[in-house]
């Protein structure tokens, strides 16, 4: 079964760091573009970051650029999001998502269940 | 950045109704547009990609059309399982952007 399982969320203070993980099963993560998408409580979806399979190129939303880093570990078939200098506005449910495409994009066809990040003092 | 808008924001409908949701982009996204369905407490589910392509396993009562800046998602005969929030998303260029969502509820 094709599946994504996120972990690593929790309650953290402003200015601190968290590392989210996303374990893939049923497919080889390295063959696809992978994404992080977040959803603040009661709000819509916000794309956060993407990593391309072929060259590992990364892209970020302006709201997280310079603070978040997306990466992958091919041996562990896992995706990560290192979140530094956390802000209250980063509070959201974070989803990892698989793209249908290996390059470019064709829509996000597999999503994890999400991991909640709460930033509060 | 490309801004996405959706109308209506909320839609009240009955089982069996034909339902249409409109999504507009602030500039052309060609056909690089997807539609997702999200139910409370669940992850989004891909319904349509490349504006009009039905994702595998999605019922044929869902269809998408449009190109450039105006797109529609149509449900030909609304079923009880279809009451949810629907989002469009452009993936023509980064940053990928989602519409604000259309909530379809029971009339």
Q: What is the pLDDT of residue A102?
A: 76
Taking alpha carbons only, the member of A87, A95, A16 closest to residue B38 is: A95
Q: What is the pLDDT of residue B74?
A: 98
Q: Is the pLDDT of residue A111 over 80?
A: yes
Chain A residue closest in CA terms to B55: A109
Q: Which residues pair with A17 in a beta bridge?
A: none
Q: What is the pLDDT of residue B49?
A: 97
- How far off is chain A from B64, nearest CA to CA, in Å? 14
Query: pLDDT-based confidence at A30, cuts 50/70/90?
Result: confident
Q: What is the pLDDT of residue A29?
A: 86
Q: What is the pLDDT of residue A105?
A: 82
CB proximity A59 to B under 8 Å = yes
Q: What is the pLDDT of residue A5?
A: 98
In the A/B pair of chains, how many CB contacts fall below 8 A?
Answer: 59
> Measured between beta carbons, which residues in chain A are less than 8 angstroms from residue B36?
45, 108
Alpha-helical runs (H) found in B18-99: none
Is A108's CB within 8 Å of B94's CB? no
Alpha-carbon span B54 to B3, nearest angstrom: 24
Provide the 10 A C-beta neighbour count for residue B13.
16
CB proximity A93 to B under 8 Å = no
Average pLDDT, chain A: 95
Q: What is the pLDDT of residue B22?
A: 98
Give residue-wise pLDDT tens across range A64-100.
999 999 999 989 999 999 999 999 999 999 999 999 9
A68 touches A82 (CB < 8 A): yes
Alpha-carbon span B45 to B58, nearest angstrom: 9
Q: What is the pLDDT of residue A52?
A: 87
Is B49's CB within 8 Å of A44's CB? no
Query: pLDDT-based confidence at A55, cuts 50/70/90?
Result: confident
Higher pLDDT, B66 or A55: B66
Chain B residue closest in CA terms to A108: B46
Partner residue facing B43 (CB), from A46, A61, A95: A95
A58 touches A51 (CB < 8 A): yes
Alpha-carbon span B53 to B64, nearest angstrom: 7
B46 touches A109 (CB < 8 A): yes
Alpha-carbon span A4 to A27, nearest angstrom: 10
Which regions in chain B score pLDDT beneath 50? none
């Amino acid at each position: 079964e094709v599946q994504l399982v996120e972990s690593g969320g929790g309650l953290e203070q402003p200015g601190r760091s968290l590392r989210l993980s996303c374990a893939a099963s049923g497919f080889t993560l390295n063959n696809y573009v992978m994404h992080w998408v977040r959803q603040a409580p009661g709000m819509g979806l916000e794309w956060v970051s993407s990593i391309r399979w072929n060259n590992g190129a990364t892209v970020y939303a302006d709201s997280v650029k310079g603070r978040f880093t997306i990466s992958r570990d091919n041996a562990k078939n896992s995706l990560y999001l290192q979140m530094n200098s956390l802000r209250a506005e980063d509070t959201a449910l974070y989803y990892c998502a698989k793209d249908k495409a290996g390059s470019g994009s064709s829509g996000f066809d597999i999503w994890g269940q999400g991991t909640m990040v709460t930033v509060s003092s | 950045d490309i801004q996405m808008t959706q109308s209506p924001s909320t839609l009240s409908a009955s089982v069996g109704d034909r339902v249409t949701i409109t999504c507009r982009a602030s500039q052309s996204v060609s056909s690089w547009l997807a539609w997702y369905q999200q139910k409370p407490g669940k992850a989004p589910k891909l319904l349509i990609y490349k504006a009009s392509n039905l994702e595998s396993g999605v019922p044929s009562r869902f269809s998408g059309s449009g190109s450039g800046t105006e797109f529609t998602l149509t449900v030909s005969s609304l079923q009880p399982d279809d009451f949810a929030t629907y989002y469009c998303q452009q993936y023509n260029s980064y940053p990928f952007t989602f519409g604000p969502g259309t909530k379809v509820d029971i009339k």
